Amino acid sequence: MHRLTSEDIAKFHAAVIKRGPDECWGWLCAHDKGGYPLLYPARGRCFRAHRIASYLEHGFAGACTCHTCNNPGCVNPKHLYPGDNKTNATDRDLAGRHGKSKTTHEQTLTIAAMYRDGKSASEISAALGFPRQVVYRICKGKTFGWLTGFEYTRRHLTPEDVLQVVTRYRSGEGVASIASDLGVSHDTIWNICAGRIWRNITGL
């Protein structure tokens, strides 16, 4: 990004189709196969323009630049945040699995504030209408940790958690979903459900 000249930045601004502050902003120039906006600088390789938008807003672009709106062509800096490849995949997963999983930065901060006030993820989910898992991930710092200051730590399971795992697995919920919700590995869930660990609790 430091290779950008002031001409490149001017060219960037000229190609942005600005809409309302909370809407997705379009891009007048080329897009790549994935739908990401491209900016061709005066010299050197082309840039993905949403990375420039994020860079100009946040001061750095991160290993990758993620969209909260799941619209790869969008260059509204409010919809962009610097992340790593893992957060990008996580956010995409969530957006794919849940219709209403996209939270704006303001909504994310509201969720974080409610959680700090002592509300549970379920209560926040019911109050704001976001899926519980989306709220849970934010409160645990699995997503948007850079924004909320919440730090994600793998937790140790309690006996109640273990029983919950078995109940949820038997009711047909996927291993990945249970694992990410409880902040443990897929293997842990498999091992519990197969009776390899925690047998004293589950009786399997």
Number of residues that bind Zn ion (CB under 5 A): 6
Beta carbon nearer to Zn ion, 70 or 110: 70
Tokens of 77: 């800096």
Whole-number Cα distances in Å, 69 to 119, 137, 145, 156, 158: 26, 17, 17, 33, 36
Distance, in Å, from the CA atom of 18 to the CA atom of 76, rounded to the nearest integer, reads: 8
Tokens of 135: 């709220």
C-beta closer to Zn ion: residue 99 or 172: 99
Based on CB atoms, which residue is closest to Zn ion, 41 or 72?
A: 72
- What are the start-end ranges of the H helices in the chain? 6-15, 49-58, 85-97, 105-116, 121-128, 132-139, 145-148, 159-170, 175-182, 186-193, 199-202
Shortest gap between Cβ of 51 and Zn ion (angstroms)?
14
Binding mask 5-24 for Zn ion (x = CB under 5 A): -------------------x
The contact pattern for Zn ion, residues 79-118, with x = CB under 5 A and - = no contact, is: x---------------------------------------
Residues numbered 35 to 74 that lie near Zn ion (CB under 5 A) are 69, 71, 74
In the complex, which residues of this chain contact Zn ion (CB under 5 A)? 24, 69, 71, 74, 76, 79
